[in-house]
A and B are shown apart, each in its own frame.
Chain A
Amino acid sequence: MNNNFKNNKNFSKVSNIIESLTINPNPDSIQVLEEIGTNSSIDEVRELTSRALVKRNEHDSLSVVIANRGKGINDMSTVVAMSTINELLSLENKEEAMRVLENTISSEGFDEEVKENARSVKALMALS
């Protein structure tokens, strides 16, 4: 994330809103993050959103970044994908994330690419 972006007033505003949705106890926050943040055309915003969803560490929020094509660990941007994986690896409690990863790998309803990514991340998490 470059410094010009960080100094942008509107980016700070977006960042604050995303952060507020990270700690908002209302589960609807996940829908807002998924609908608006992960579909943003700006890589930095998608990165922030994915990390926020991981930080929430809930089944639904983790499913968005693990089991969705083009989102979180499956994002087209390597920076966004790597950042999401880093956030998953730094989770203190990885139980829910492991569960979601296993579900994704074993379920029939997902793309092979999504399953492959989930398998790689699960291996990394098991090692960390």
Chain B
Amino acid sequence: MTAIEKINQLSHRIFNTSVTEQSVARTSNPFAASNFQKNILTEDVFESSDKKKNDNVNFTGNLTASSKRIYSTFVGSINDFGNRFYEGLETIKQFGMRMKDHVVNAWNKIHELGNKEVTLDGAKEVLSRDFTSFFVNHNQREISKMSKMDPHGEVKPMLVDALSALEADMAMAA
């Protein structure tokens, strides 16, 4: 065989892929198009995509009935929580809007009545004072309520519990 003939054969091997191209169409193997010295890869070593299509995705296939119930309860609770959460947000929003409306109405009313001395700074001071007194009064109410309780039967267990919680806080902080 002459050198020219050999070169022709080689070029035929390299460039003539028509034989293998027909078989490529039937497989998902991207390397199936390669011609390894005319030894065509007949086996599809990759998992066929057709096979995957046929596989049904089944998330619950291996779950027992009781597990399914638990998961459904869990998912139900999440949905429920979401609803309650949004209901809560809605309530807060409505409350805020109502409060804002009341404050704005009161403010406008004061100015309608001709009281120009009412300023925003004054209002802020009054509001902050009222909030402070609200918390102070709350404490005083609690103290007053407890002072009417039975020291041994009611107050003592409360004091023991509060002290235990305080000691636990201190231990954590240390």
Binding site for B on A (CB under 8 A): 4, 8, 10-14, 16-21, 23-26, 28-29, 31-32, 35-37, 40-42, 45
Contacts and interface: CB of A to CB of B under 8 A. Distances in A.
A8 B162 contact: no
B39 to A, nearest CB: 79
B151 A14 contact: no
B155 A41 contact: no
A16 B143 contact: yes
A36 B151 contact: no
A14 B142 contact: no
- Sort chain B's interface into a size bin: 20 to 34
Q: Does more than half of chain A's interface fall in helix, strand or loop, or is it mixed?
A: helix
A41 B163 CA distance: 10
Given A8-B166, A10-B169, A16-B143, A37 B151 contact: no
Contacts of A36: 156, 159-160, 163
Interface in B135-165: 139, 142-152, 155-156, 158-160, 162-163, 165
A10 B162 contact: yes
Contact of B162 (A13, A26, A28): A13
A17 to B, nearest CB: 5
A24 B143 CA distance: 10
Contacts of B149: 20, 24
B169 A17 contact: no
Contacts of A16: 139, 142-143, 146
Most A CB atoms within 10 A — which of B159, B169, B170?
B159
Contacts, number: 78
14 contacts: A4-B173, A13-B162, A17-B146, A17-B159, A17-B162, A20-B142, A20-B147, A21-B147, A23-B143, A23-B144, A23-B147, A24-B155, A36-B159, A41-B167
A26 B150 contact: yes
A31 B151 CA distance: 9
A24 B147 contact: yes
A80 B161 CA distance: 23
Given A24-B151, A41-B167, A32 B143 contact: no
